[in-house]
Chain A
C-alpha cells in the first residue's frame, strides 16, 4: 500500500482525522475555559504533597485527634489561661446542634489547627491508654447526642 500522511508502515488514522483536529482542539480549549474552575499558573507543575507535621503513631492518635478537635472547636472562644480546664459539661446543647448543622463534623484536629494557628493545644490530662479505652467504649455519635 502506498504511504501517505494517513497511512504509514501499517499504521493508519481514521478518515478525516487530521482535518478535524484543530476544530476539536478549539472546542476542548473553550470547554475547559467555560468550566470556570481554574488553578494558578504552574500549580500542577509545582504541586507537592506536604507531609503532615508531627504525626507519629497516627493509628493511636486518631481518636485523640477527634476528641481534641471537638473540645477545641467548642472551647476555642472560651480559652483563657485563667479559666478552669475545659470539660464536656461546658458544652451547650445549642452549640452542639449548631456544630452538626454546620457540617463541621468532618473537621479534624489538623483542620482546626490550620484555622487557629495562634492557639496551642495542650495535651489533656489523660494518658493515651485511658483516652483510648474511653473512646473505644463510647460511640462518637453518642457523645454528641448526650451533651
Chain B
C-alpha cells in the first residue's frame, strides 16, 4: 500500500534524529492538497489555516500509529476531513445551532472573507452545495474543487467508483437546478 517515497518519509518521521527534516518534507509535499481540501469544507481562510496546522500536528504526533493499511495521503486526508468537520460541529455546538445552520452562516460570511473573490455565481454554487446530503457534498467538492480522480476518491471514502460517479452526477444535477431556480427567482 505504501509507496517508496512515503515509506522513507515515515521512517524519517519515526527517527528522532531525522524527524524535523522529515516533517518539513511532509509539509511541503502535501500542504497544498490538504489546504484546498480543508478550505472547500470550512470555506473561510482563517479556519482553514487553523485546521491545516492542527492536521499536521496530529499527523506528526500520531505517525507511530500509522499502520500503512492505506496510502499516507489517504490517512492524512481522513485526518484533515475529520478535523474540518469537527471544527464545524464544535462551532455549531457552541452557538447552539445545527450543522446546516453553521454551514449556511459560513456561506453568508464568505462575502466578507478577504480571501474570497468569488462572484454571485460562485456564492450561489456554495449555497447550493450545502443543501446537499453530507456525502454528496463531499464527493462534489473533491471532484469539482480538487479535480480528484474517482479511483483516488474511492480509496479515501471507501466507496466504489460506480457509486461515486452516481453520487457526483446527482449532486451536479441538484446544484444546476438550484442555481437556475435562484437565477430565475
A14 vs B52: C-alpha distance when bound (angstroms): 15
Asked if B31 contacts A11 (CB within 8 A), the reply is no
Contact of B118 among A9, A29, A32 (CB under 8 A): A9
Residues of chain B within 8 A (CB-CB) of A11 are 36, 39-40, 45, 115-118
Residues of chain B within 8 A (CB-CB) of A32 are 57
Q: Which residues of B, 152-176, contact A by the 8 Å Cβ criterion?
A: none
The answer to whether A10 and B35 touch (CB under 8 A), given A22-B28, A29-B60, is: no
Residues of chain B within 8 A (CB-CB) of A18 are 31-32, 35
Residues of chain B within 8 A (CB-CB) of A14 are 45, 115
Residues of chain A within 8 A (CB-CB) of B117 are 1, 7, 10-12
Asked if B24 contacts A8 (CB within 8 A), the reply is no
Nearest CB of chain B from residue A88's CB, rounded to whole Å: 47
Asked if A12 contacts B35 (CB within 8 A), the reply is no
Interface residue? B145 (CB, 8 A): yes
A-B interface pairs (CB < 8 A), number: 57
Q: How many residues of B contact A (CB 8 A)?
A: 26
A7 vs B35: C-alpha distance when bound (angstroms): 12
Q: Which residues of A, 12-66, contact B by the 8 Å Cβ criterion?
A: 12-14, 17-18, 21-22, 24-26, 28-29, 32
Instruction: Look across to chain B and name the residue whose beta carbon is closest to the beta carbon of A6.
Output: B32
Residues of chain B within 8 A (CB-CB) of A28 are 53, 57
Instruction: Look across to chain B and name the residue whose beta carbon is closest to the beta carbon of A14.
Output: B115
| A interface, size bucket | 20 to 34
Instruction: Look across to chain A and name the residue whose beta carbon is closest to the beta carbon of B61.
Output: A41
Contact of A13 among B28, B40, B45, B60 (CB under 8 A): B45
Residues of chain A within 8 A (CB-CB) of B57 are 25, 28-29, 32
Instruction: Look across to chain A and name the residue whose beta carbon is closest to the beta carbon of B123.
Output: A10
Interface residue? A101 (CB, 8 A): no
Contact mask B50-63 → A, CB, 8 Å, 1/0?
00110011001000
Asked if A13 contacts B115 (CB within 8 A), the reply is yes
A8 vs B45: C-alpha distance when bound (angstroms): 12
Interface residue? A111 (CB, 8 A): no
Nearest CB of chain A from residue B70's CB, rounded to whole Å: 19
Taking Cβ atoms with an 8 Å cutoff, the residues of B that contact A are: 20, 23-24, 27-28, 31-32, 35-36, 39-40, 45, 49, 52-53, 56-57, 60, 115-119, 122, 144-145
Pull 16 A–B residue pairs with CB atoms less than 8 Å apart, ordered by A.
A8-B36, A10-B118, A11-B40, A11-B115, A11-B116, A11-B117, A13-B115, A14-B45, A17-B49, A18-B32, A21-B31, A21-B52, A22-B23, A22-B31, A28-B53, A29-B57
